Amino acid sequence: NAGVTQTPKFRVLKTGQSMTLLCAQDMNHEYMYWYRQDPGMGLRLIHYSVGEGTTAKGEVPDGYNVSRLKKQNFLLGLESAAPSQTSVYFCASSYRGGTSGASYEQYFGPGTRLTVT
Amino acid sequence: TQLLEQSPQFLSIQEGENLTVYCNSSSVFSSLQWYRQEPGEGPVLLVTVVTGGEVKKLKRLTFQFGDARKDSSLHITAAQPGDTGLYLCAGNNDMRFGAGTRLTVKP
């Protein structure tokens, strides 16, 4: 049981390049999330999905796209990278209902450190 | 928009000391989670509090949910270097996180 995995772990892009970050979970979770983490700003939600084939915008969606074609995978795409997208990106997943009845007890991947020059 | 304010932002203490960190909001939450994040890793869930006034203990960590379900606190007794990390709170309503309290426990 690997939990939540993310690939790649590190990436350097030049401004204008595109890339896709892959997140996979083996816990049969319905919900999946993409966050970015910047110093002093905590975790900010980019996009999320409440089930296969559905996605929704979070707090900071501009410049990103996502897809959830399979329940276990959630992809985050950057079509034209900008230096402002330099960050650490975390994927997370959760059951529809957690052990305490709360929907959003999240399990996180190890993160992808992205630098855009 | 439900903002979660965590305080203090930074805390550096000696091993064996006690400490309390806070998570405050003007909004009511159906539940609230606390996570700990170590350098280079993703956050790990510590606890979920659901009921106003609820107190949960996890070894030397005590979590309390405010009576009005707008705030929460985390108290650590006899802190150890292994407690070092970024402590994050998250409200259940819209998946927002506070900016965190960065705790350093010196041996």
A5 vs chain B: nearest CA distance in angstroms?
11
pLDDT of A97 reads: 55
A48 touches chain B (CB under 8 A): yes
Taking an 8 Å cut-off on Cβ atoms, the answer to whether B42 and A111 are in contact is yes
What pLDDT band is residue B79 in, cutting at 50, 70 and 90?
very high
How close does chain B come to A65, measured CA to CA in Å? 19
Span B5-106: which CATH code?
A: 2.60.40.10
pLDDT of residue A41: 77
Nearest to B101 by CA among B90, B86, B89, B81: B86
Q: Which pLDDT score, from 0 to 100, does residue A40 have?
A: 75
Chain A residues 54-113 with a CB less than 8 Å from chain B: 58-59, 90, 92, 98-111
CB contact under 8 A, A4 and B98: no
At B1 the pLDDT is 54
**Using the beta-carbon criterion (under 8 Å), do B42 and A90 form an inter-chain contact?**
yes
pLDDT tens sequence across A80-94 = 999 999 999 999 999
Domain ranges of chain B: 5-106
Average pLDDT of the segment spanning B25-40:
91
Q: What is the mean pLDDT of residues B82-101?
A: 90
> What pLDDT does residue A96 have?
72
Which homologous superfamily does the CATH classification assign to the domain defined by A4-11+18-109?
Immunoglobulins (2.60.40.10)
Q: What b/e sequence results for A87-107 when a residue is b if at least 16 CB atoms lie within 10 Å of its CB, and e otherwise?
A: bbbbbbbbbeebebebbbbbb
